Amino acid sequence: MHRLPVRQLIALSGIACLEVIRQPITLLLMVTCTVLTILNPMLVIYPFGEVGKLPRDSALAFQLGFGLLVAAYGACTTLSREVESGTASAVLSKPVSRENFFFSKFLGMVAVIVIYSLCSILATQLNQMISHELRDHALLALLPLTPVAGLLAAAVINYTTRRPFVTVAFASVLVCLALTTGALAYGMHGGFQWRIVPANVLITFALIVLAAIAITLSTRLRTAPTIMICSAVLVLGLVSDFLFGRFTDENWWGTIPYMLLPNWQHFWVTDGLTGGGSVPWTYVLNAGGYAVLYAAGVLAIGTLCFRWTDVQ
Amino acid sequence: MTESASTTRPVVVAHDLHKTFKDFWRRPKVHALKGVDLEVQPGEIFGLLGPNGAGKSTLIKLLLGLLRPSSGDIRIFDQSPSDVRSKERIGYLPEETTLYRYLTARETLSFYARLFDLDAAARRERVDQLIEMIGLARAETRVVGEYSKGMGRRIGLAQALLNDPELLILDEPTSGLDPAGRRQIKDLIQALARRGRTVVLSSHLLADVEDICDRIAILFSGRVYALGRTRDLLEAEHRTRITFPEVTEEAMRTVLAAIQTASGVEPDVDRPTVPLEHFFLDVIESAQQSERDPTGATSGGELAPFLDRGSDHDPDP
Amino acid sequence: MTLTRNVPAIAGLFFRHCLRTRLVLAVTILIACIVLAVPAYVDGDGTTDGRIRIVLFYTLGLVSIVLSVVSLWSACAAIPIELESRRLHLVLSKPVRRLEIWVGTWFGLLALNALLLAVAAGVIYLQVQRVLAGATRDGGETPVLVGRRLARPIETVTAELVQAEIDARRRSGHITANVEDRDFFPAIEYELNVRAGTVQTGQTGRWEFMLPNRLKNNGALQLRFKFASSGMNDAPRTGTWTFGTRSEPALHHLSGTWTPFQYHDLAVPMEPPDALIVVQFENPLLGEGGAVIFEVEDGIVLLNHESGFLTNYFRAVLVIFLELAFLAALGLSAGSLFSQPVAVFVSYTLLMMAGLAQYLGIALVEDPNLPILYDPLPVPLINAFVEQVARISHAVTEPITQFNVLSRLSQGILVPWSLVRNALFVLIGGYSVTLGIFGVLVFHRREIGLPRI
């Protein structure tokens, strides 16, 4: 009996994850992020200074930028759409608590973000390999084809088995990226650069926090206002140090928003990677703790809101 | 159906109509219609019956020009359904009433009325009459998003009648309505047919279809399996029913004996029952005389005057 | 015939729907927040003109971005939401053509944009008036709150001059033989331009202006300049401006002291001549701070009053409105083909590609041989293909980028009616109509009410 809520949570999270992944926009964002990450070392015309720095920073910026869209849009739609379409009422008519239902949506989004970030981590590694091997023309010609190969594989599977293209493509692009990275990791300059992974992980934390905010907002708001507020939180959180941080010692109106808004700068550590540097895992753990606590706080509010939401 | 109607051209003609939905690779995914042939004559009430997925909604969407046939031909008033002029003469009530939730009933009807070639005065008059007819006069200032499903359905019906259509296409017209509302819709459909309008309706509620349709087509898996006059199709062969008032036991025995002697079989005897719908309506009617509906919806009035043109004749029995 | 009946009905419905969903209210509140917040956070140069420039450039700029997002998103959502909710089925069962639905929705979006922009423009205008009311001016026309026609000096740095300089440097051994001319061309060109705008101590800089007819007929001229001091500090610099013609270059003199890194406006003490006007600046030998360097772009220009601020502002807002209308057409066309999120994605991708095409295209225009890729692939066909795509994209997107009115407005430069006319012709007559034709065709071909299987 005690295991029932956990079983429900797993089942509901799985469905939530699948629903978000099956939206074409999620695949589009993921593939665009991957392709741009792999292509950008070739398009950056004047890479002064440290080799691979500019492409690496761009890759992390792509992960954050496109990831925020995946997190915000996926999280907004996963709950509010189900409430509007009546699916939520069908699930809640079963012995499923509202808290479990709400939390499962968040977990589903976490799963989506983790899969998306995995793709991004692999693409960032490919990006670095290209940056260091710019004279290897064969590599230059072949690497951008990796995500395309994933899409082609998905098309073939869709044609032969009639499985949904979008879901298959998500998996096949990930597999193709993993195979290419794995195959090239030991032959390339620098190999697999583990030191970059913590930076990717930190961005994943930021995306999870944004997903928590979006899901909480969508308990009360429809998709459009939720995305608008998420965008505002995103922008304000990015410039929080400038907007409010400098007033924290002087005014309460600077302190309160500074404390309440998520500070995305904690998750952006590209400067730490400059000159062969690395980000200590203790920092990652601390930032992870901040993300977990922030998300927990936001989700607690969301749970309370959803308890009183009319589900039609 | 009138005599004159049967001599004029059919309102709807479908000939060897096929509709196939394809996947991304242009391979057939679903054969929704497979060679449908049917005609709907002016002034008749034509019922489309069939289980879910039989192709009823697809046929209606083809009639409206929302979908295009994969092969075959479909004509409406002798025009292609994609010809926008044919829509001047059509009224359509979809299966789900999808309205603009932030508009009031009056604004909703006014908007749809503006899409027809009607002057402002005529529009206002028709909207007034229809609101009165569907019984939403006291709720007309509320936004549609606040309406119950049944009230939304009534607005849906009203918008279908705005242009006084010659052909009314009704997809599940009684779904979401209470028995009183259903009765009202059925009466309305019959009243319109008596005034020469043609009605095509699809429904799962066989009792409704049986009550009002002159002819029916039963679809299954995209094919027409039965097509004809409702009475002809439903007539039980080799059986006869005699109904007469309460008689004494002795008289009953005499009659039964006579039948048994004449036919050689023993007849069944039971007492006829009133249909539940009739019984329910009687109860509600008496209740309505003392109560007022809290939603603002009333049972509605008579047929809107602008719809009341044409000769009122009895439908073909 | 049904066009005149149905289009207003659909436009009205769309507009009313937006009003009732409180979209307008939400955006208005957002605009109010921006108007209040921007001046508090963006530091000006401390002058009234500087504050007005911030209101006109940053506030109006930010508001334009917000309105662009609203316009694009609303347009992308308009048709997909109608389809998804199946309301479109009902509308299409009436005598309405799909063209009318598309055009009606576009007009609805225009009305929405017009309302929001009018609110924003009104609030920003009030903000400008508030700044002006709080200022203590000693009379004279505010150099920002006007619309002035502008003339730039005749360019003295020609391609031949640049090439001659490169050749000279090759001869002197400053450029080695293994480097091609094209690698140095832009840098040398810039350097020569900077040199042309530099006035060393004890020297006189000279610029010639060919005045357009409109500029000649408008009366008194003004000189606007902005310079840097080679000492790289902001200590005021003294100098003498001389105005005249080619035959008599020193007709009038004006001496004074001016602060570096700021715009200064001077009344030119002579009637606009029929021919060239020659402007000279003398950097006195005894002056402190070394050379005076006028900016390459807009470091020294001649202006004269042609329009008041309100009419100039009105024209600028009109151009912004036309840009919003173009975005609405883009979003609506994308929404005719895709679901809402995909339409938003496609629209933004197209806009970003346009930006990238501009970036690559400018590089190509400046140097036709510049490789697009950092290291071109060894397959000439691919290189040629990439280059051709970049060229075509540049050619297609270039006309859209010429309508930046914010910098004009914030510097008191005229936004001419010809620009509004061009915007109307290019953005509406050209791009919006092309997008519209594409959108309507796609929408017309689309089957409505496909089963959700």
Express each pLDDT in A231-257 by its tens digit: 888 888 888 888 787 777 777 777 888
Express each pLDDT in C277-315 by its tens digit.
899 999 887 656 788 999 877 789 888 777 888 999 999
Residue A221, chain C, CB below 8 Å: the answer is no
User: What are C's interface residues with A at a Cβ cutoff of 8 A?
Assistant: 23, 26, 41, 73, 77, 339, 341-342, 345, 349, 363, 372-375, 377-379, 382
Q: Tokens 């290291």: give the residue.
A: C375
> Which chain B residues touch C85 with a CB distance below 8 Å?
98
Would you say residue C67 lies in a domain? yes
Question: What is the model's pLDDT at position B315?
Answer: 46
Judging contacts by C-beta atoms under 8 Å, the chain A residues touching residue B24 are 158, 165
Q: Residue B216 in 3-state DSSP?
A: strand
The residue type found at B197 is: R
**3-class SS at B79?**
strand
Interface touch B24/A158, C-beta < 8 Å: yes
pLDDT at C176: 76
Task: Decide if B68 and C16 are in contact by the 8 Å CB cutoff.
Answer: no
From A11's Cα to the closest Cα of chain C, the distance in A is 23
Give Cα separations from B117 to B183, C6, C9, C37 (angstroms).
32, 10, 12, 51
Residue C452 lies in a domain: no
- Judged on CB neighbours under 10 Å (0-12, 13-18, 19+), C229 is buried
**Which residue type does C447 have?**
E
**Sheet containing strand C227-229, strands side by side:** C198-199, C292-294, C227-229
User: Chain-wide mean pLDDT for chain C?
Assistant: 85
* Separation in Å, CA of B235 to nearest CA in chain C: 36
Domain count within chain C:
2
Task: Find the CATH number of the domain harbouring C200.
Answer: 2.60.120.260
Q: How confident is the model at residue C269 (pLDDT cuts 50, 70, 90)?
A: confident
Tell me the pLDDT band of C379, cut-offs 50, 70 and 90.
Answer: low
Percent of chain B at pLDDT > 70 equals: 87
Kindly tell me if the per-residue pLDDT of B37 is higher than 80: yes
Q: Which residues of A touch C20 (CB under 8 A)?
A: none
pLDDT of residue B311: 61
To which H or E segment does residue B20 belong?
A: strand B12-22
Q: Is the Cβ of B111 closer than 8 Å to some Cβ of chain C?
A: yes
Name the residue with higher pLDDT: C203 or B315: C203
A220 pLDDT above the threshold of 60: yes
* 3-class state of residue B12 by DSSP: strand
- Which one of B114, B126, B168, B202 makes the best mutation probe of the C interface by having the most chain C beta carbons within 10 Å? B114
A165 CB within 8 Å of a chain B CB: yes
A84-140 pLDDT, tens digit each: 778 888 888 888 899 999 999 999 999 999 999 999 999 999 988 888 776 666 666
Q: Could you tell me if A43 lies within 8 Å of chain C, comparing CB atoms?
A: yes
User: Domain limits at C182?
Assistant: 148-308
CB contact under 8 A, A140 and C342: no
For residue B92, give the chain C residue with the closest CA: C93
A44, A73, A141 member nearest C377 (Cβ): A141
Average pLDDT of A283-307? 95
A264 contact B CB<8A: no
Residue B165 is predicted with a pLDDT of 94
Residues within 8 A of C (CB atoms), A 48-107 only: 73
Which has the closest alpha carbon to C64: C130, C116, C109?
Answer: C116
Q: Which of C82, C93, C98, C444 to mutate to test the interface with B (most CBs of B within 10 A)?
A: C93
Query: Under an 8 A CB cutoff, do A141 and C379 touch?
Result: yes
Neighboring chains of B (3 or more beta-carbon pairs < 8 A): A, C
What pLDDT does B316 receive?
Answer: 45
Closest to C166 (Cα-Cα) out of C153, C180, C145, C155: C180
Best C18, C81, C94, C100 residue to mutate vs chain B (most B CBs within 10 Å): C94
Of residues C86, C97, C450, nearest to B94 (C-beta): C86
Q: What is the pLDDT of residue B5?
A: 43
What are the tens digits of pLDDT across the range C54-79? 888 999 999 999 999 999 999 999 99
Task: Reply yes or no on whether the pLDDT at B2 is more than 60.
Answer: no
pLDDT at C366 over 70: no
Point out the domain boundary residue: C243, C276, C308: C308
Label each residue of chain C as H, E or C.
Answer: CHHHHHHHHHHHHHHHHHHHCCHHHHHHHHHHHHHHHHHHHCCCCCCHHHHHHHHHHHHHHHHHHHHHHHHHHHHHHHHHHHHHCCHHHHHHCCCCCHHHHHHHHHHHHHHHHHHHHHHHHHHHHHHHHHHHHCCCCCCCCCCCCEEEEEECCCCCCCHHHHHHHHHHHHHCCCCCCCCCHHHCHHHHHHHHHHHHCEECCCCEEEEEEECCHHHHHCCCEEEEECEEECCCCCCCEEEEEEEECCCCCCCEEEEEEECCCCCEEEECCCCCCCCEEEEEEECCCCCCCCCEEECCCCCEEEEEEEEEHHHHHHHHHHHHHHHHHHHHHHHHHHHHHCCHHHHHHHHHHHHHHHHHHHHHHHHHHHCCCCCCCCCCCCCHHHHHHHHHHHHHHHHHHHHHHHCCCHHHHHCCECCCHHHHHHHHHHHHHHHHHHHHHHHHHHHHHCCCCCCCC
**CA-derived radius of gyration, chain C:** 27
pLDDT of residue C303: 84
Same domain as C280, residue C214: yes
Answer yes or no: is pLDDT of C351 > 80: yes
Q: Which residues of C fall within a CB distance of 8 Å from A47?
A: 374
Q: Which of B32, B84, B111 sits opposite C95 (nearest CB)?
A: B84
Q: Which chains touch C (3 or more CB pairs under 8 A)?
A: A, B
Same domain (yes/no): C336, C384: yes
The residue written with tokens 């954050």 in the block is A64
Average pLDDT over residues A7-18: 92
Whether B102 has its CB under 8 Å from any CB of chain C: the answer is yes
- Does residue B178 sit in helix, strand or coil? coil
Answer for the pair C199, C260: CB distance below 8 angstroms, yes or no: no
Look at C377 and A134 and tell me if their CB atoms are within 8 Å. no
Please report, for residues A261, B90, C37, C119, C326, the alpha-carbon distance to residue C31 in angstroms, rounded to integers and kept in the order given: 21, 46, 10, 9, 21
Q: How far apart are CA A272 and CA C48, in angstroms?
A: 42
Read off the pLDDT of each residue in B132-150 and give the average, rounded to a whole number: 86
The pLDDT of residue C448 is: 87
With beta carbons under 8 A apart, name residues in chain A contacting B23. 162
**C90 interfaces chain B, CB cutoff of 8 Å:** yes
- pTM, two decimals, is 0.86
- How much is the pLDDT for A159? 92
User: What secondary structure, in 3-state letters, does A9-73 show?
Assistant: HHHHHHHHHHHHHCCHHHHHHHHHHHHHHHHHHHHCCCCCCCCCHHHHHHHHHHHHHHHHHHHHH
Question: What is the domain partition of chain A in residue ranges?
Answer: 4-307
DSSP sequence for A121-159:
HHHHHHHHHHHHTTT-HHHHHHTTHHHHHHHHHHHHHHH
pLDDT at C138: 47
Spatial distance between the Cα atoms of C400 and C422, rounded to a whole number of angstroms: 10
Helices of type H across A86-222: 87-92, 98-132, 137-142, 145-161, 165-185, 197-217
Structure token pair of residue B129: 């009459």
Q: pLDDT band at residue B69, thresholds of 50, 70 and 90?
A: very high
Judge whether B296 and B139 are in contact, CB under 8 Å. Answer: yes
Chain B residues with beta carbon closer than 8 angstroms to that of C92? 64-66
**pLDDT(C374) > 60:** no
What is the number of other CB atoms lying within 10 angstroms of the CB of residue C324? 25
In this prediction, residue B53 carries a pLDDT of 84
Average pLDDT over residues C6-17: 94
Residue B215 burial (10 A CB sphere; 0-12, 13-18, 19+): buried
Distance of CA C414 to the CA centre of its chain: 13
pLDDT for residue B294 is more than 60: no
Torsion of CA A252, A258, A259, A263, to 10 degrees: -170
Residue of C225 and C364 predicted with greater confidence:
C225
Q: What is the mean pLDDT of residues C144-155?
A: 83
User: Rounded to the nearest 5°, which phi and psi values hold at A272?
Assistant: -65, -20
C395 and C295 both lie in a single domain: no
- C135 and C192 part of one domain: no
Distance CA C451, CA B128 (A): 36
Tell which of C291, C308, C325 closes a domain. C308
At residue A189, the pLDDT reads 59
Please indicate, yes or no, if residue C450 is contained in any of the structural domains.
Answer: no
Higher pLDDT, A106 or C134: A106
Find the radius of gyration of the CA atoms of chain B.
Answer: 23
**Taking CB atoms and an 8 Å cutoff, what residues of chain C touch A29?**
345
pLDDT tens figures, C75-109: 999 999 999 888 999 999 999 999 999 999 999 99
Q: Which residues contact A49 (CB under 8 A, 6 or more apart)?
A: none
Give residue B280's pLDDT: 62
The answer to whether B24 contacts A162, with C-beta atoms less than 8 Å apart, is no
Q: Which residues of A199-232 are buried (b: 16+ CB within 10 A; e: fewer)?
A: bbbbbbbbbbbbbbbbbbbbbebebbbbbbbbee
Is A145 exposed, middle or buried (CB count within 10 Å of its CB: 0-12, 13-18, 19+)? Answer: middle
Task: Give the pLDDT of residue C413.
Answer: 87
Shared-domain flag, residues C202 and C110: no
Residues C196, C135 share a domain: no
Does A270 contact B at CB distance below 8 Å? no
Compute the Cα dihedral for C79, C81, C82, C83 and give only its sign.
positive
pLDDT of residue C369: 54
Residue in the structure block whose two tokens are 């509320």: B142
The answer to whether residue C118 sits within a structural domain is yes
Assess whether C366 and C433 both reside in one domain.
Answer: yes
B32, B67, B114: residue with CB nearest C5: B114
Q: Is B145 on the interface with C (CB under 8 A)?
A: no
Chain A interface includes B25 (CB < 8 A): yes
* C95 and B CB contact within 8 Å: yes
Nearest-neighbour CA in chain B from A92: distance (Å): 22
- Over range B103-127, report the average pLDDT: 92
Test C342 with A45 for CB contact under 8 angstroms.
no
Does residue C152 sit in the same domain as residue C286?
A: yes
Same domain, yes or no, for C327 and C254?
Answer: no
The residue among A86 and A261 whose pLDDT is bigger is A261
Cβ contacts of A228 on chain C, cutoff 8 Å: 26
Q: Which residue of B has its CA nearest to C3?
A: B115
For chain B, what is the mean pLDDT? 85
Q: Looking at the predicted structure, is the pLDDT value of residue B27 above 80?
A: yes
- Specify whether the CB–CB gap between B189 and B201 falls below 8 A: yes
Per-residue confidence (pLDDT) for residue C268, from 0 to 100: 87
Contacts of C341 in chain A (CB under 8 A): 23-25, 73
Mean pLDDT of A60-85: 87
Q: Are residues C426 and C334 in the same domain?
A: yes
Instruction: From C274, C308, C342, give the residue that closes a domain.
Output: C308
Domains of chain B in start order, with CATH, are: 3-239 (3.40.50.300)
* C233 has pLDDT over 80: no
Rounded percentage of chain C residues whose pLDDT exceeds 70:
88
The 3-state secondary structure of B107-141 reads HHHHHHHHCCCCCHHHHHHHHHHHHHHCCCHHHCC
Q: Which residue of C has its CA nearest to B94?
A: C90
C-beta of residue A132 within 8 angstroms of C-beta of residue A189: yes
Q: How many residues does chain A have?
A: 312
Cβ contacts of residue B13 below 8 Å, gap of 6+?
B38, B39, B73, B74, B75, B78
Q: Which two tokens stand for residue C225?
A: 């300049």
Task: Find where tokens 């009366």 sit.
Answer: C219
Looking at the structure, tell me whether residues C81 and C12 fall in a common domain: yes
Note whether B23 contacts A: Cβ–Cβ < 8 A: yes
pLDDT digits (tens, 9 = 90+) for B183-224: 888 888 999 999 899 999 998 788 888 888 999 998 888 999
More confident residue, C313 or C369: C313
| Among chain B residues, CA nearest to A165 | B24
* CB-based burial label for B201 (10 Å; 0-12, 13-18, 19+): buried
> Above 90 in pLDDT, residue C12?
yes
pLDDT in tens, A166-203: 999 999 999 999 998 888 877 665 678 889 999 999 99
Query: Is residue C453 in some structural domain?
Result: no
Chains B, C: CB contacts under 8 A, how many?
A: 89
Q: Angle between the B149-161 and B120-133 helix axes, to the nearest 10 degrees?
A: 140
Helix (H) or strand (E) holding B69: none
Residue C281 inside a domain? The answer is yes
Share of chain A above pLDDT 90, in %: 47
Of B124, C217, C346, C374, nearest in space to A28 by CA: C346
- Give yes or no: residues C159 and C203 share one domain: yes
Of C26, C341, C342, the CB nearest to A225: C26
From the list C9, C97, C450, the residue facing B114 with the nearest CB is: C9
pLDDT given for residue C232 in this prediction:
65
**Using an 8 Å Cβ cutoff, are A17 and A171 in contact?**
no
**How does the average pLDDT of chain A come out, rounded?**
87
> What distance in Å separates the CA atoms of residue C376 and residue A140, rounded to the nearest whole number?
10
**Mean pLDDT within A26-50:** 80
Q: Å from A225 to nearest chain C CA? A: 9
What is the value of ipTM here, to two decimals?
0.85
The pLDDT tens digits of the residues spanning B159-179 come to 999 999 999 999 988 887 888
